[in-house]
Amino acid sequence: MKIFIGSDHRGFYLKQFLKDFLFKQGYEVEDCGNYIYDEDDDYPDFAFKVAEEVSKNNLSRGILICGSGAGVCFSANKVKGIRASLAFNEKMASDLRKDDDVNILCLASDFIDNNLAEKIVLIFLNTDFLGEERYLRRIQKVQNYENRNNSFN
């Protein structure tokens, strides 16, 4: 599984930490920026880059980080085929994978530490989608709406 990771300046140091952590765990990681700490950068630039890569690579996952996690989350969800969600704890990370087949994890660097981030990321990467009919039905409804309103993408 390939992991695409990106962050703005508020998530930069957590991204660097997680990137090194994931390499040590044996994951293939592609850094989508920012590559330097820059207080003037904008989270949509990195969210769109990660989301576009994940949308093109079905077996991949993404990790996005900003201060609140919200900006990268709503930006990534503008890209067709993306199901991005925030997770603040291990239970959320597990549920968003099992129930919603989330393909991009969004993290709030202002609210979690490196240790918790490691745990959340590992659960996100190692939890399978349950694929139950009710979950599939709900995802299909979102995809149908997305296709109907494709002119916005």
Give the whole-angstrom CA distance, residue 53 versus residue 2.
Answer: 10
Residue 5 to residue 105: CA distance in whole angstroms: 9
Are 109 and 141 in contact by the 8 Å Cβ rule? The answer is no
pLDDT tens, position by position, 28-68: 999 999 999 999 999 999 999 999 999 999 899 999 999 99
> Which position has the token pair 């139950």?
132
The predicted-structure confidence for 97-124, as pLDDT tens digits, reads as follows 999 999 999 999 999 999 999 999 999 9
Residue type, 122: L
Which pLDDT score is estimated for 153? 47
Question: Active site includes 66?
Answer: yes
* Residues 45 and 33: beta-carbon distance below 8 Å: yes
- Residue 137 pLDDT > 90: no
Domain that holds residue 18: 2-152
Instruction: Please give the single-letter amino acid code of residue 29.
Output: V
What was the pLDDT predicted at 151?
52
Q: Are 101 and 139 in contact (CB under 8 A)?
A: yes
DSSP state of 120: H
Catalytic residue among 32, 66, 73, 106: 66
CATH number, domain with residue 105:
3.40.1400.10
The 10 Å CB-count burial string (b at 16+, else e) for 69-106 is bebbbebbbebeebbbbbbeeeebbbbbbbebbbbbbb
Query: For the chain, how many structural domains are there in total?
Result: 1
CA distance 96 to 115: 20
